[in-house]
Amino acid sequence: MHRFANPARFQRIANAVLPWVAVATAVLLGLGLFFALFDSPADYQQGETVRIMYIHVPAAWMALFVYSCIAAASAAALVWRHPLADVAARAASPIGFWFTFLALASGSLWGKPMWGTWWVWDARLTSMLILLFLYAGHWALARAFDDPVRGARAAAILALAGFVNVPIIKFSVDWWNTLHQPASILRMGGPSIDPSMLLPLLLMAVGFTTFFIVVLLLRMKAELVAAKLRAAQLARLQPAAAVGR
């Protein structure tokens, strides 16, 4: 991965990839929403409320996926000193935060008619809320220091320490007695969901993934431009400081 470490090379690759991934995102989300809203049937128990699933489940998947990416990038930054790893982690953090918020908000909208309450303190929901706080902490900590290197290192340590929450979220419905339903797609024996519902769900999941890639690349490009501007400003200030002395 070090051959992608050069910012100029990364910019060229990102510029080449972005249009294709953006088009794929539009197609996938458009098809996913069409099948979710107009082609898939209502559930025999949940009725039309089941359509919240097509937003809630992919958002929850992405919340875990993005945090795993941040933890991997943080490890690459701390162990191998990859120059773009901190940039990727810092760029991904707000995206993961909003995916997690969307998962919690859509889950509450589903929980009110199904459970009769907006929120319950069961293991899955509580661990997802902790994930939201981890995202917020990483997002803030990366920008809390005047020295970007110190901020990136502190945020990377937090990301790696918080990664223990990811398997807890995944297996919480198996380890504890919770109101949240167990896995119906990624499970032994294959998916238990009907194909007419599985298709739009997978389309939305892949569409959310490509959307993440688009926003991540755009944010990384913006971070690199901001870093270049900071370096140029420091270069201008240093001669003036030397004259003043």
Residue boundaries of the structural domains of the chain: 9-244
List pLDDT tens digits, range 106-159. 999 988 888 888 888 888 899 999 999 999 999 999 888 878 888 899 999 999
Question: Using 50, 70 and 90 to split pLDDT, how confident is the model at 228?
Answer: confident
List pLDDT tens digits, range 15-48. 999 999 999 999 999 999 999 988 888 877 788 8
**Residues 146, 78 contacting (CB under 8 angstroms):** no
Q: What is the mean pLDDT of the chain?
A: 86
The reported pTM is 0.88
Rg of the chain, C-alpha, whole Å:
21
Domain spanning 9-244: CATH 3.30.70: no
Tally Cβ neighbours within 10 Å of residue 176.
Answer: 13
Dist CA 115 CA 153 (whole Å): 42
**What pLDDT shows up at residue 47?**
80
